[in-house]
Amino acid sequence: MNFIFIKDKYNKYSIRAIAASFEKYFDFPYEIISNESASQKQIKNSVIFCSFNSLNKDFYFKLSKKLIDKNVLICGGPHPSAKSDECLNYFHSVCVGEGEIAVKEIVNDLLENSLKRIYRQTISTNLNEFSSYPKKHHIFGPIEITRGCLFNCHYCQTPKLFKGKIRHRNIESIAIDVDFAYKNKKTDFRFITPDAGIYNYKNGINLQAIEELFKTIKSITKNNGRIFFGSFPSELNPFHVNEDLIKLMNHYCSNKKVVIGLQTASERLLKIINRPTDLIQVEKTINLFLKYGFGVDVDFIFGLPDETDKDIEQSIKWIEKWESKVRVHAHYFMPLPGSFFENKTPTPISDKSLKKLKSLEGKGKIFGMWIKQMEYSKNFLNKKTLCDYIT
């Protein structure tokens, strides 16, 4: 039986995790191939694992039509977890929820010719039981240190995708991954977490745990390792930052830019999306980072449900106020399946506001894929394909 995992630019972290868990349970050889290769190659007599989000679903639906007759196709990830019934039209089986433990059951059932249509992962994954990196295929990248989030933002899939208690990878497990990566000549260490400031959070920022994380990496890498904390692919929630944390980052970390989430400068809209309305605290956090020489990128989402002209004007005024100090990473609201807002409609941006935002973008004060996301949202609502908007 030939096993294949399909990797693309959106799922590279999840496929890496599933491949590592596959290695934990089985000694079978397997391949990891790109989505481009999968669409071009003639594949048969294989078990193919796919993981995808809603942006990339149409590609995998088309791919399944090509491969499903001569292979066994299994899918998981954010979109299949939220829309399992839809995905069953294209795949033999769907994994709903976390996949590290489910992959063991799926493969065992395959070996016994008893594959089920739906695999619902009800047991929360203990991150410490799984390596961040597969050993047979060296796919390196950020280490997942926290799964789950303290917030429940209504536009986000994370609260429903990773239900239950927040989990953290312990220092011992992280050290094993760092040591393996460093021995393979990797010296840059980044992290997957919805909020870097909540690592081992205990009724407050756990500075001791975060410093131990930094010291461990520096020790293993003989001070050659570079640590990137609170920057892509993670961020820092401005409500889980204090000056002592920034001092630790300034001392140990190599990144001099951080990402924090605000989403809108309208307090009315902040309540609607279920985020704190304390703009003063957000600005205090930004000023602390600036004090220690960090650049700051601030996430905003335009077109949120129930957004009014006044709401977006407040956001634009805030951006203009801070444009000499921060950059704004702009997004346009997309109704993600599985989120609280999955059935909400994006709010169109008025011509006046759109002109102003494009002007700020032209000056380099705003960046991001917000215009393409706006096109995607419009066509998503019109039931058109997403493929034209995915590059």
pLDDT at 380: 61
Helix (H) or strand (E) holding 177: helix 171-183
d(CA 260, CA 281): 12
Question: Sign of torsion, CA 228 233 234 238?
Answer: positive
Dist CA 254 CA 294 (whole Å) = 11
Q: In the chain, which segments carry CATH 3.40.50.280? A: 2-120
- Name the β-bridge partners of 96: 120
Nearest-angstrom CA–CA distance, 11 and 50: 9
Q: What pLDDT, on a 0 to 100 scale, did the predictor assign at position 188?
A: 97
Which amino acid is located at 104 in the chain? Answer: K
**Phi, psi dihedral angles at 247 (to 5 degrees):** -65, -40
Question: Rounded CA gap, 307 and 310, in Å?
Answer: 8
Measured CA angle at 213 (ends 209, 214), to 5 deg: 120
Asked if 105 contacts 114 with a C-beta cutoff of 8 angstroms, the reply is no
Residue range 2-120 forms a domain whose CATH class is alpha beta
State the pLDDT at residue 382. Answer: 60
**268-302: pLDDT as tens digits:** 999 999 999 899 999 999 999 999 999 999 999 99
DSSP string, 5-52: EEE-TTTHHHHHHHHHHHHHH----EEEEEHHHHHHS---SEEEEEE-
CA atoms of 387 and 62, how far apart (whole Å): 10
Which of 261, 255, 181, 162 lies closest to 221, judged by CA?
A: 181
Residue 164, pLDDT score = 61
Looking at the chain, which residues constitute the CATH 3.30.750.210 domain(s)?
A: 140-255
Q: Where in the chain is the domain with CATH 3.30.750.200?
A: 258-391
Q: Rounded distance, CA 234 to CA 229, Å?
A: 8
Query: Which segments in the chain show pLDDT lower than 70?
Result: 160, 163-164, 379-391
CATH fold for domain 140-255: Transcription Regulator spoIIAA (3.30.750)
- CATH architecture classification, 258-391: 2-Layer Sandwich (3.30)
